[in-house]
Amino acid sequence: MSDDILFDLKGVSKQFVKGKETITIFDGLDMSIARGDFLAIMGPSGSGKTTLLNMLGGVDQPTSGEIHFDGKRVDTLSETQLAAWRANNIGFIFQFYNLMPMLNAHRNVELPLLLTNLGKGHRKKSVAAALELVSLSDRAKHMPKEMSGGQQQRVAIARALVSDPKLLLCDEPTGDLDRQTADEILEMLQLLNREYGKTIVMVTHDAEAAKYARRTLHLDKGEFVEKDLAA
């Protein structure tokens, strides 16, 4: 196995049981994600994009198959181990930002650092740097409801970044934003990928958004179909 591989999925299957019905979303999916990649995953609604992202993030488990991260198997970890693994390796960016409404921007960004042993001073510096990166230094004391959607998403990006994870997982990060704001966010993600070496997996149904990625995978009926971006 190459050192360049960050994620390796082997024969991953995922089924949901709904009453008597069993829905198969994935059946023996193989895929790998290279270190430093910016991967867009597209596909029709209900094709399993979020489910895949959840499995990558250790938030949901495959029914069978293996998921390796950095050469280590992660799908067999316990809930507690997974929480620690997520805290160390993954930053999440959600469609609806998922900021804590009663915390200001600074405190929201600080959340992942509360899981580390960093002292107050260090945390403050890291939060300031993350807010700087998303150009929101002047909004540190603002509450989420005092900010626009784009600003809230930038706070969420700062939160995802602050503990310096290797991987950013984004579920429709621009799904709730207008074109111009979406482009700003996507440029920011691109910058994080190119300048800061973050590996990014982004689920989107927006072809424009996918253009910012290095490559795009199309998910259909649980299978990937690689398409030419120019097409």
Interface residues toward ligand ADP, by CB under 6 A: 16, 18, 23, 25, 43, 45-51
60 contributes a contact to another protein by CB under 8 A:
yes
Please, are residues 94 and 171 in contact by the beta-carbon 8 Å criterion? yes
Q: Rank residues 6 and 156 by Cβ distance to another protein and give the closer one.
A: 156
Closest CA to 55 of 12, 84, 97, 96: 12
Q: Rank residues 88 and 137 by Cβ distance to another protein and give the closer one.
A: 88
Q: Which does 174 bind (CB under 5 to 8 A by kind): ligand ADP, Mg ion, another protein, none?
A: none
**Shortest reach from residue 103's CB to another protein, in Å:** 7
> Which stretches within 27-78 are classed as H helix?
49-56
Per residue, the 3-state secondary structure of 155-182, as one string, reads HHHHHHHCCCCCEEEEECCCCCCCHHHH
Q: Rank residues 36 and 175 by Cβ distance to another protein and give the closer one.
A: 175
Angstrom distances, CA of residue 173 to CA of 71, 146, 154, 179, 210: 28, 20, 10, 12, 11
**Shortest reach from residue 52's CB to ligand ADP, in Å:** 7
Helix, coil or strand: residue 119: coil
Give contact residues for another protein (rule: CB under 8 A).
50, 53-54, 57, 59-60, 79-80, 83-84, 86-88, 92, 94-96, 98, 100-103, 111-112, 114-117, 159, 171
